[in-house]
Amino acid sequence: MSEMVRVNTRVSADMNSWLDSETEKTGIPKSTQIMIALEQYKTQKEAMKTMQEILALAKEKGDTETLNKMAPLFQQIK
């Protein structure tokens, strides 16, 4: 696991209230919730990049079967 560093940021009052509520319900500290959300965001961005690379490679190779299967999925999550 990478070394942990502290990051300071601002959120809206509404977001802070929501985080407080989630902390009450789950017992998970706000900083942990934010860290988890950022990890999920990073994972999603990396998955999108990989999908784009696969689509580009399929297009380059003329693989219409892969293009036909993946293009609608890509459009749904774009």
Q: What is the DSSP string of the chain?
A: -PPP--------HHHHHHHHHHHHHH---HHHHHHHHHHHHHHHHHHHHHHHHHHHHHHHHT-HHHHHHHHHHHHHH-
pLDDT of residue 70: 76
Q: Tell me, what's the pLDDT at 56?
A: 85
- Residue pLDDT tens, the chain, 78 long: 689 999 999 999 999 999 999 999 999 999 999 999 999 999 999 998 988 888 888 888 888 887 777 777 767 665
What pLDDT sits at residue 73? 72
Specify the pTM.
0.71
Query: Residue ranges of the domains in the chain?
Result: 13-77
